Amino acid sequence: MEIRQLKTFWTLASTRSFSRTAESLNYVPSTVTMQIKALEEELGVKLLDRLGKTVVLTDAGHQLLPYANKILNDIEEAKQVSSQSGEVSGTIVIGADEVICTYRLPALLRLFRERYPHVRLLFRPLSSHNLKQSLREGKADVVFMLDEPAESIDLHTERLLDEPFLMVVSPDHPLASRSALSIKDFHGEHILLSEKGCSYRLYFYRTLLKKGADSLTELEFNSAEAIKQCAMMGLGIALLPEMVIKGEVERGELIALPWDLSEVRFTTQLLWHQDKWISPSLRSFIEMAKLLLC
């Protein structure tokens, strides 16, 4: 078993594409195929299936992945320890959901790039329900997510910033001028929702449906920006993090409804695997994220 084979396997598991793996490793596609075939022959198992243009790991592939990730991490650690340059370098793979990516990360990524120009940052936009799994499968070094505070056995969580939420409508919406609301006021309203699996979508159901609201018409979006724009156009009621709509509310383009959201406990969080080796570059990134976002 060769290190390059494990690196090819890990990259293929991340990209799910032979062509993207070849491009990432500066190989021709046939080299990727040969290395994976040699690894499968040595282990005596099939590691992946090709389903059209998509690569899917087999059970054996899923079992091998964390070991490959650990071996590659150990090798990276050895390189960092043996380096005499004293210069922080390496690669950091970052995952985040759409909201964090758009409204929290740009300033952090710019500052980190300016301070550590020899560190390569690879960003993977992921849906909320895939973020933790990306750490467990070794596809990301760290992830940012907006969620309710929670503990995990295998993942380390740093809570960075509390994120207040607002329920908003356009200025000409029938509820915009109300000084108080009851659950009956939501009956028959159009609700602008984020994708299924999103934590604050679930909260919307807890605050409205469980309190007796009915006859709600749902409009589902995979982008907080799309929800905001549709709310401004008067298409319905949106529940969004304040960071997404702060400017629009201050300019009067959206109106915050007088609805009690004191039960909302969502935070921007930084996560990494408990078994992950924290390289100097990754440690520097984590420290800067905590300093800038806390």
d(CA 88, CA 210): 51
Residues 6+ apart with CB under 8 A from 197: 127, 128, 129
d(CA 225, CA 125): 15
Of residues 273 and 137, more confidently modeled: 273
Residue from 73, 90, 53 nearest 10 by CA: 73
| pTM, rounded to two decimals | 0.69
Average pLDDT over residues 60-72: 84
d(CA 40, CA 190): 53
pLDDT at 105: 92
Q: Reply yes or no on whether the pLDDT at 269 is more than 80.
A: yes
**pLDDT of 74-122, one tens digit each?**
777 666 655 545 677 788 999 998 889 889 999 999 999 999 998 888 8
**pLDDT of 187-206, one tens digit each?**
888 888 887 667 777 777 66
Are 194 and 218 a contacting pair, CB within 8 Å?
no
d(CA 5, CA 133): 23
Confidence at 126, pLDDT banded by 50, 70, 90: confident
Burial of residue 54 (CB within 10 Å: 0-12, 13-18, 19+) is: exposed
C-alpha to C-alpha distances, 14 to 11, 24, 57, 69, 194, nearest whole angstrom: 5, 11, 10, 11, 26
**pLDDT of 36-45, one tens digit each?**
999 999 999 9
Enumerate the β-bridge partners of residue 190.
Answer: 217
H helices then E strands: how many in the chain? Answer: 11, 12
CA dihedral 15→74→58→55, nearest 10 degrees, is 10
Q: Which domains does the chain have, with CATH numbers?
A: 1-82 (1.10.10.10), 87-162+266-294 (3.40.190.10), 165-256 (3.40.190.10)
DSSP string, 26-61: T--HHHHHHHHHHHHHHHTS--EEEETTEEEE-HHH
pLDDT at 186: 83
Q: Is 156 helix (H, G, I), strand (E, B) or coil?
A: strand
pLDDT at 144: 95
d(CA 118, CA 130): 29
pLDDT at 156: 92
Residue from 16, 286, 273, 24 nearest 153 by CA: 273
Tell me, what DSSP letter sits at residue 230? H
pLDDT at 215: 63
